[in-house]
Amino acid sequence: MAAVLTKISVEAMKPDPDKRREVPDGALPGFYLVIQPTGKKSWAVRYRFGGKPKKHTIGAYPKLEIGKARELARAALQAVAEGRDPAAEKESARQTEEAKRNTFGTVAADYIKRVAKAHHRTWAETERLLTKKDLEAWQDKDIRSIGRREILEVLDAIVERKSPVQANRLLTRLKPFFAWAVERGIIDASPAEKLRPPSPETARDRVLTDAELVAVWKAAEETGYPFGSAMQLLILTGQRRSEVLEAEWREFDISQKTWTIPRERSKTDVAHVVPLSEPVIEILEALPKVAAPAEPGTKGKPEARLLFTTNGKTPFSGVTKVLDRLNAAAKKHMPDEKPLPSWRLHDLRRTFASGCARLGIPVHVIEKALNHTSGTFGGIVGVYQRHDFATERRDAMKAWAGYVTSLTKAKPKNVVALREVQNVG
């Protein structure tokens, strides 16, 4: 008869270097201590199910002490008596947990946390593309079941709804995501590898005419804070949409007439100093400072953080809706009140560059003002050319602001009152 296993006897048992040992427990038939040649010990239950011998591993020793192991063994043997297979149930639970960990949504969330948020300025767009709308049906799907065909079906559907550029953008996010999943050992190969963009893209060359620029400026005055004021800064500074709309007060030094876009908000991953012209300073000084509500129990008045916000907590959103209203307002300022031809906010950067060139500003100064790293500062030139052309850039900003002001024939209009802020989109 087998001896009853105790803590002392289990501790005293030595491994056989030539084979695995299974020591039965005299107190519970079917319950065993398994000792590997390496000395590692674990608990197991042996039983018959469906006429076949089966083994169910309970856990490792000493992490699982003998009392708890014997209790779990009794539960497993009771399951067998009830017609259930504990080993099969354990494997099914393991597969369910593994499938849950490997769903596209779970892996995407991990990627966004570890990679996109940590290293990419545009992580919010990556999150939107990987978690919303077009990939909604993938969220609970095992990522290992997603192949090239599934990706192409999604991209084709986006193209068919006449959003070819959106399809291209999604593919540019899927490629690094699946490559990361390969690196993590989640999938063996990327289904997006070697896939080409579903639609050709033509570089935009849209530049607003002087008449269009005047119409947009005047409509921005009428639109007021926050979007109208942000639009004026986009026109006068030529900076990127996100850099303006997400700007914070701490980035501005009015006494030095500078705006420092920090590295974490700059597309080039380098802090960028923007010289401020007088019209820009006038706009900044007229902006309301909207602070988030004070937290319960805190003392003192909260300070405003964001330039363009309606709640003090997050940057202004609803751009598309308000831009539509602004374009409608701009129509009456156009010659013959014709609608503005289609344009995007990014076209204001191209308009800035084109306008500065017409004013005789050298292209290398324009590129520095726009914080471009390609063009004249691409390749080896960008490595060795460290002069920031600060004086020249300030002169360029002054010249462009003067030109815009001369076109509009009026200084920037003061923003609307704070009571109107909540009605802006």
CATH number at residue 143: 1.10.150
Q: Indicate whether 204 belongs to any domain.
A: no
Name all contacts of 144-150 with Cβ < 8 Å and 24+ positions apart: 144/102, 144/186, 144/187, 146/104, 146/191, 147/191, 148/191, 148/192, 148/195, 150/191
How many domains in the chain? 3
Query: 100, 134, 150: which is the final residue of a domain?
Result: 100
Identify whether residues 249 and 320 lie together within a single domain.
yes
Identify whether residues 93 and 106 lie together within a single domain.
no
Which residues, 6 or more positions from 96, have their beta carbon under 8 angstroms from its beta carbon?
Answer: none
- Per-residue pLDDT, 409: 77
Q: Indicate whether 72 belongs to any domain.
A: yes
Identify whether residues 90 and 106 lie together within a single domain.
no
Could you report the per-residue pLDDT of 133-189, keeping only the tens digit for each?
Answer: 899 999 999 999 999 999 999 999 999 998 898 999 999 999 999 999 999 999 999
Identify whether residues 339 and 276 lie together within a single domain.
yes
- Per-residue pLDDT, 202: 66
At 289, list the tokens.
């400072």
Which residues, 6 or more positions from 299, have their beta carbon under 8 angstroms from its beta carbon?
Answer: none
Identify whether residues 333 and 250 lie together within a single domain.
yes
pTM score:
0.58
How do the pLDDT tens digits run along the chain, 425 residues long? 689 999 999 999 999 999 999 999 999 999 999 999 999 999 999 999 998 999 999 999 999 999 999 999 999 999 999 999 999 988 888 877 777 788 999 999 999 999 988 887 678 889 999 998 899 999 999 999 999 999 999 999 999 998 898 999 999 999 999 999 999 999 999 999 999 999 887 667 899 999 999 999 999 999 999 999 999 999 999 999 999 999 999 999 999 999 999 988 887 778 999 999 999 999 999 999 999 988 887 777 889 999 999 999 999 888 989 999 999 999 999 988 889 999 999 999 999 999 999 999 999 999 999 998 655 444 433 433 445 789 999 999 999 999 999 999 744 444 433 333 333 33
Identify whether residues 257 and 275 lie together within a single domain.
yes
Parent domain of 407: 210-423
Q: Indicate whether 280 belongs to any domain.
A: yes
Identify whether residues 114 and 72 lie together within a single domain.
no
Identify whether residues 358 and 393 lie together within a single domain.
yes
Give the separation between CA 72 and CA 65, rounded to whole angstroms. 11
- Per-residue pLDDT, 378: 46
Which residues, 6 or more positions from 223, have their beta carbon under 8 angstroms from its beta carbon?
Answer: 231, 322, 325, 326, 329, 424
Identify whether residues 275 and 327 lie together within a single domain.
yes
